[in-house]
Structure 1
Amino acid sequence: MEAFIDQYGALLIKATWETIYMTVVSTFFSYLLGVPLGVALSITKKGGIASSPTFNYAAGWVVNILRSVPFVILMVFIVPFTRLIAGTSIGPNAANIPLIIAATPFVARIVEQSIEEVDRGLVEAAKCMGASNFQIITKVMLVESKPSLIRGLSISSITILSYTAITGIIGAGGLGNIAITYGYQRYIESMRYSTVILLIILVVLIQLLCNIWAFKADKRNRN
């Protein structure tokens, strides 16, 4: 064990931090883009507070198309775009581009579903009190759906974490790259097992933190 740590410990630590970096950055930007898109999909439905069937149909198709493309294919397909934005097609920064593009429509659907869970009576009450659409979205929909949004965050971030492992195929760094380079290509089983264990630990931590946050955010648990 000591020999393994001496030889590969620093490499695994670096790869773990690269994985965390890609997950955090991609999650942040996918939510920055996905939350407004998810809200738009919800409020523009028939009967929504800003009903626009044409926009909803078009936006829904775009989201569905992006979600239907396998991440590996998307990652390879947009390599020229990745080079244009990041200046390179390898490394954690380059990997963030396809991660964000792949995760944003996924986040949008999760946000849409969370908002759909909000009691319509609360929305109607806010309307009767003269609240604007923006106030209804920010003060009612997003606030009331907060626990659901947090639970959705755990699903999204864990999905993005799994995607970071796939980016190892194109040398993006992180635990996925270590698993492929050392575990698969060099047949070092200890490295393969180590990367899997570290990924499991990260998943458990994300789920635990989000569960605690969602529990505290749920008004039903405050009594």
Structure 2
Amino acid sequence: MSQRLIELLLEALWETLAMVGVSTVLATLIGVPLGILLLVTQPGHILSRPTFNRIAGAVVNATRSTPFIILMVAIIPLTRMLVGTSIGTAAATVPLVIAAAPFVARLVESSLREVDSGLVEAAQAMGASPLQIIVKVLVPEALPGIAAGLTITVVSLIGYSAMAGAVGGGGLGDLGIRYGYQRFQGEVMLAVVAVLIVLVQLVQSLGDYAARRLNKRERSQANR
């Protein structure tokens, strides 16, 4: 592989890391509160709002059911309005966030659902407000599951960012398509695949480590 292609590979890797990093942060900021609301607004929960819950759930499900490549094309007008262009790394971040935020929300909701309902009832009996229950009971108890869910989200975003290359999104996917596929340079395609595999393995390992550290039960067993 030539020096030029190595430089292109490093540039594409940086673009992918930028896309995934920004998308993860924004999707987390949107998805975590949304996931909490999806749980606590269910009928009979601490902030029961059935109508809001049904509408929010329908929007989340509709977004999640849309294939990413179709979503990218469908929201091109929104992307242009937000970032001024429909191609490039910045433009690819918009559909990445929109695709990932509902995914994060459902994973957070699922993690919170695993929290023992007795803890919530005990907090209510002691006079805790809904906000206190969320901040001091639900979220701390669900942190290991939330960390695992965010790890899955980052891995998915890496795959989505590669797909974004098919429509000029930049990053490793774009490099693989332009050089590996269109110019029949097999070594470039292999290099892109290898970098993506290493990147996913690294993210998964770090995520698993974070989830173990956050799991109180595992930490207490490790200290014995």
Alignment of 1:95-114 (within 5 A): 95-114=92-111
Residue identity matched to 2:37? A
Whether 2:96 is the aligned partner of 1:132: answer: no
Q: Count the aligned residue pairs.
A: 220
**Alignment pair present for 1:162 and 2:159:** yes
In structure 2, the partner of 1:209 is 206
Q: 1:7 Cα shift?
A: 3.0
1:174 to partner: Cα distance: 0.4
CA distance in 2, matches of 1:163, 1:93: 14
Q: For structure 2, which runs of at least 5 residues remain unmatched after alignment? A: none
User: What is the TM-score with the length of structure 1 in the denominator?
Assistant: 0.97
* 1:34 counterpart residue number: 31
- Structure-2-length-normalised TM-score: 0.96
What's the offset of the Cα at 1:170?
Answer: 1.6
Query: Where do residues 45-64 of structure 1 align in structure 2 (5 Å cutoff)?
Result: 45-64=42-61
> What is the identity percentage for the equivalent residue pairs of Structure 1 and Structure 2?
50
- Name the residue aligned to 2:219: 222
Matched, 1:80 2:110: no
1:196 aligns with 2:193: yes
Counterparts of 2:144 and 2:125 in 1: how far apart (Å)?
25
Provide Cα deviations, 1:36-59, integer angstroms capped at 9, x if missing partner: 110010011122111111111111
Distance 2:87 2:51 in 1: 39
Picking from 147, 156, 169, the partner of 1:150 is 147
- 1:80-137 residue CA offsets vs partner (Å, 9 max, x unmatched): 1101100111111111001001111111100100000001011111111111100100
Q: 2:13 aligns with which of 5, 11, 16?
A: 16
Q: Which amino acid aligns with 1:29?
A: L
Q: Within 2, Cα distance between the matches of 1:209 and 1:140?
A: 25
User: Which amino acid in the other structure matches residue 143 of structure 1?
Assistant: P
Asked if the contact 2:212/2:219 (under 8 Å) is kept, the reply is no
1:70 aligns with 2:56: no
When the two chains are superposed, the root-mean-square deviation of aligned CA atoms in Å is 0.8
Structure 1 residue 198: deviation in Å? 0.4
Match of residue 115 from structure 1: 112
Task: Give unmatched runs, 5+ long, in structure 1.
Answer: none
Opposite residue 15 of structure 1, the aligned amino acid is: A
CA distance in 1, matches of 2:163, 2:98: 15
Q: Classify 1:75/1:222 alpha carbon distance in 2 versus 1 (closer, same or farther; 3 Å).
A: same
Amino acid aligned to 1:165: A
Structure 1 range deviating more: 42-51 or 144-153? 42-51
Secondary structure, counterpart of 1:164 in structure 2: helix
Alignment partner of 2:44: what SS? coil
Deviation at 1:222, TM superposition (A): 2.0
> Per-residue CA shift, 1:166-214, capped at 9, x if unaligned?
1101211100000110111111000111101100011000000011111
Question: C-alpha separation between the residues in 2 aligned to 1:56 and 1:131?
Answer: 23
Alignment of 1:6 with 2:3, yes or no, is: yes
- Aligned-partner Cα distance in 1 for 2:51–2:4: 59
